[in-house]
Amino acid sequence: MKKNLLKLKLKQIFLKHKLSKKHAEICSNYLIKAEILEAKGHGLARLKMYCDRIKAKVINPKPEIKIKKISSSASYIDADNSIGFISADIGIKQAIKNAKKTGIGLVAIKKSGHYGLSSFYAEQAVNNKLMVFCFTNAPAALAPHGAKKSLFGTNPICFGAPTGKAPFIYDASTSIINRGTIRRAERLGLKIPYGVALNKKGKITTNAKEALKGTQLPIAGFKGSGLAWMVDILSGVFTGSSHGGKTKDPFDDFSGPQNMGHLFITINPKIFIGNKFVKEMQKNIKIVKKLPKAKGFTNILYPGERKNKTYKKNLNKDISISPKILKEMEKLNA
């Protein structure tokens, strides 16, 4: 489908679900960007979920978002149960503003929901010549190391820095694959990779439905579990949001709002070494890229480089949409 047509349809759907024109535009842009980046699990596959939650009155389509000034560097946002795209977009812009004033921006967000890819927000900060950390919690999907029950979310860790070229953006869930990929596989009847999830009996499964009822496996064993816990503290405990397995699953639990938390930390990289930062970043990347290549590799890519190439490659292409999701869109727009 042509992107301009898709954007029009998405905006119509969000407007029918009582979002303002501005908020419908923001949500549509983020969903389309996920599709362009080939992050299908965070794109149109989630559209129906957002709309279902609005209908169930567990997402507020007309939020009164409040920004509390803690200091010139720190802000605290009450998202009033908005779609995560909206609160996070406001939050990262506030963090950028704070960092431009004082060198550091710290923004905590409570009463929010799923906000898509963390890289969406990291990229905004990097485009403003800032370094950035983004944290968000998620519904229970990982068992803490030593436990057999899921408690932590797939809690991503995201870091970005300017390079003078394609931004350096590391954005990765603390699980081997993200939850959205499994959700999409379950809906489309696809298998998931071997060794990324366990079923309810604790056995490795490639069945997406069994994986959703079981538990996902963290990256690097106990280290990944520790990182997921760290993010649960930063984006849950610290922001006054749900944590410790209390974040509601957006697809299955309509008993109330998710009350997810996000934390953005923006830093002006000039505060210690001035204008040398980008030059030193480029030197750092060059050192890594000049290393002897392992078998099967012709190039060493830095985090964010592949995504940037994917975005440029797909930017002017039509977006491929599965028949099932097209049908959902037609129903939502009826």
DSSP, collapsed to helix, strand or coil, labels residue 21 as helix
Picking from 149, 115, 46, 120, the residue whose alpha carbon sits closest to that of residue 304 is 120
Angle at CA 163, nearest 5°, toward 159 and 167?
A: 50
**Which residues constitute the domain of residue 240?**
3-175+218-272
pTM, 2 dp: 0.93
Q: How far apart are CA 308 and CA 320, in angstroms?
A: 19
One-letter identity of residue 103: G
Q: Please report which helix (H) or strand (E) contains residue 107, including its range.
A: strand 104-112
Q: Residues 6 or more apart from 299 whose CB is under 8 A from it?
A: 289, 293
pLDDT at 147: 86
Domain assignment present for 186? no
Q: Residues 6 or more apart from 191 whose CB is under 8 A from it?
A: 185, 206, 207, 208
Domain assignment present for 52? yes
Which carries the bigger pLDDT value, residue 199 or residue 147? Answer: 199
Domain assignment present for 290? no
User: Counting Cβ atoms within 10 Å, is residue 334 exposed (0-12), middle (13-18) or buried (19+)?
Assistant: exposed
Q: For position 18, which CATH number holds?
A: 3.30.1370.60
pLDDT at 178: 87
Domain assignment present for 249? yes
Q: How far apart are CA 310 and CA 81, in angstroms?
A: 33
Domain assignment present for 20? yes
Binning pLDDT at 50, 70 and 90, where does residue 195 land?
A: very high
Domain assignment present for 323? no
Q: How far apart are CA 42 and CA 30, in angstroms?
A: 9
pLDDT at 12: 98
Residue pointed to by tokens 């509390």: 68
Mean pLDDT on 127-131: 98
Q: Six-digit token pair at 196?
A: 């990324």
Domain assignment present for 155? yes
Q: How far apart are CA 215 and CA 322, in angstroms?
A: 27
pLDDT tens sequence across 57-76: 999 999 999 999 999 999 99
Domain assignment present for 154? yes
Total of domains in the chain: 1
